[in-house]
Amino acid sequence: MTSRPQNLVVTGAGSGIGQAVCQLAEAAGIKVFGIDRDALGLAETQERTGASIAVCDVTDEAALIRAIDSAVDYFVGPPDALVAAAGVYRIAPAQEISAQAFADLLAINVVGAFVSAREVATRNTEGGSIVLIASMAYEGGDTNEPAAHYTASKGAIVSLTRQLAVEWADRGIRVNAVSPGVIHTPMLRLVDDPVKAAAYLESGVPLRRFGAASEVAAACMFLLSESASYITGVILPVDGGATIS
């Protein structure tokens, strides 16, 4: 690997962490191919960064494979890096979550990440780096924002990261994950209640503020880089200290 990846695929590129990764990568001179089901958000990312894009739902395996094939055409070769940031956050008490709703969320957050990683790794013969997006939610339960399906999905991402890191190490492909805390993105629900948000930051986050998508993106870029060349299978918290408070 060089000091930075040359060709990067980003899923969930239309907003939040995925869009922030695209912006940092393009600023660093990396060619970026963005994937998202949100056509408007993806068009905004393209306008801001110049990235090539494909509108695609990551739960549609055939469409996702075609999108990554388009990335290969755009790069004139295989991507050497992936940030799989496509994901959703839904809140519901466990007894109100249907089997279909549970499966639908896992299809986006876990299966979509897996297929993205598999397809990038399949095309890559010279090593590379993959970053998945976990969450501090996998560390424990939460009665204020119950989300059994989301929490399970992020626990699965942690296990998937470690398994893929072991399987693909002999091919020179590193697989890591970042584990964001309360990050100010469109998915954040805590800001719906300013009083509750202030109380949480005061008691639950040592740095006493929300994180920014750009800060999570910076952690992703570190894990993609040569500076992290001896790091694989790691879950890197980006949470203002929340998981140690």
Would you name the residues annotated as active-site residues? 150
- If DSSP codes are grouped into helix, strand and coil, which group holds residue 230? coil
Residues 6+ apart with CB under 8 A from 10: 18, 21, 22, 25, 32, 33, 34, 35, 51, 82, 83, 85
Residue 199 exposure: Cα atoms within 13 Å on the Cβ side: 5
Type of residue at 79: P
Query: Concatenated DSSP letters for 111-169?
Result: IHHHHHHHHHHHH-SS-EEEEEE--GGGGS--SSS-BHHHHHHHHHHHHHHHHHHHHHG
* Burial of residue 67 (number of CB atoms within 10 Å: 0-12, 13-18, 19+): buried
In whole angstroms, give the CA distance from residue 79 to residue 32. 9
Give the CA distances from residue 6 to residues 2, 3, 9, 120, 149, in Å, rounded to whole numbers and listed in that order.
Answer: 8, 9, 10, 14, 35
In whole angstroms, give the CA distance from residue 203 to residue 183. 16
DSSP state of 188: -
| Contact (CB, 8 A) for 27 and 8 | no
